[in-house]
Amino acid sequence: MTGIALGGGFSHPPEQAARAFRAVLEAVSRPGTIWTVEGAVPPAPLTVAAGTVLLTLADGTAPVHLAGDADCQPVRDWITFHIGAPLVGAEGAMFAVGRWQDLLPLGRFHPGDPDYPDRAATLIVLMNDLTNAGARLTGPGIKDAARLSLPEIAAFQRNAVQFPLGLDFIFTAGDRVAALPRSTKVEGAACM
């Protein structure tokens, strides 16, 4: 285990997790809104926000899948040390972390069961940037319409059609976080 794995966790877990959860709660409740979180300093390529979300929501009972270059030894060590989550394949993941291209195809992840749609995976997407531009979002949590710089459109439209099944997404860039639950309808231009 490298030295880096031992650092970068919460220094005051109950308060920091509470504040981070509140930001994620608002983000999921109001799809497209962008919030900042802090507390985690995870190894690259994880963002501060992705690390903070994982520290807040994942643990030994919540298996995590690492996709693409997120599946590296420093990240594995950091998650094992700070979170204790089992690292698993896409099919068994409650949370998955990676860049958009590395998370595809989405069909590998569990979209929930018809009688237990809550058993769907949550995908934490590592982005370079996150802005209120691009795709047009409507649905629960959104007063009229919102805009968010999604990496594409079609995949999210296919996901929403499965409702109440479907994946839920948390986008992270630096210390910023936004969310797209399966209930959101997505239209319009993608930002790459």
Partner 1 sequence: MTDQAYNFAYLDEQTKRMIRRAILKGLAVPGYQVPFASREMPMPYGWGTGGVQVTAACLTPEDVLKVIDQGADDTTNAVSIRKFFQRTAGVRVTESTGEASVIQTRHRIPEAPLREGQILVYQVPIPEPLRFLEPREAETRKMHELEEYGLMHVKLYEDIARHGEIATSYAYPVKVEGRYVMDPSPIPKFDNPKLGDCPAIQLFGAGREQRIYAVPPYTQVVSLDFDDHPFVASKAPHDCDLCGADESYLDEVIIDDAGGRMFVCSDTDFCAGRQAAGHRGRLSPAEVV
Binding interface with partner 1 (CB under 8 A): 13-15, 17-19, 21-22, 24-26, 28-30, 56-59, 61-62, 94, 114-118, 120, 122, 139-143, 163-164, 166, 168, 181-183
Identity of the residue, 72 or 180, whose beta carbon is nearer to partner 1 in the bound complex: 180
Residue 77 is classified by DSSP as H
- Measured CA distances, 54 to 73, 90, 94, 118, 151 (Å): 17, 16, 11, 18, 21
The residues, any chain, with a CB within 8 Å of residue 30's CB and separated by 6 or more, are 141, 142, 146
Mapped onto helix, strand or coil, the DSSP state of residue 79 is helix
Identity of the residue, 5 or 180, whose beta carbon is nearer to partner 1 in the bound complex: 180
- Nearest distance from C-beta of residue 180 to partner 1, angstroms: 10
- Nearest distance from C-beta of residue 104 to partner 1, angstroms: 21
- Nearest distance from C-beta of residue 159 to partner 1, angstroms: 11
- Nearest distance from C-beta of residue 142 to partner 1, angstroms: 6
Residue 50 token pair: 């992705």
* Helices 48-57 & 13-29 angle (0-180, nearest 10): 100
- Nearest distance from C-beta of residue 148 to partner 1, angstroms: 16
Identity of the residue, 42 or 141, whose beta carbon is nearer to partner 1 in the bound complex: 141
Identity of the residue, 17 or 72, whose beta carbon is nearer to partner 1 in the bound complex: 17
Rounded-to-10 torsion of CA 13, 42, 173, 170: -60
Residue whose tokens read 């929930």: 112
- Measured CA distances, 72 to 36, 76, 100, 109 (Å): 25, 6, 17, 20
Identity of the residue, 26 or 152, whose beta carbon is nearer to partner 1 in the bound complex: 26
Identity of the residue, 94 or 96, whose beta carbon is nearer to partner 1 in the bound complex: 94
- Nearest distance from C-beta of residue 73 to partner 1, angstroms: 25
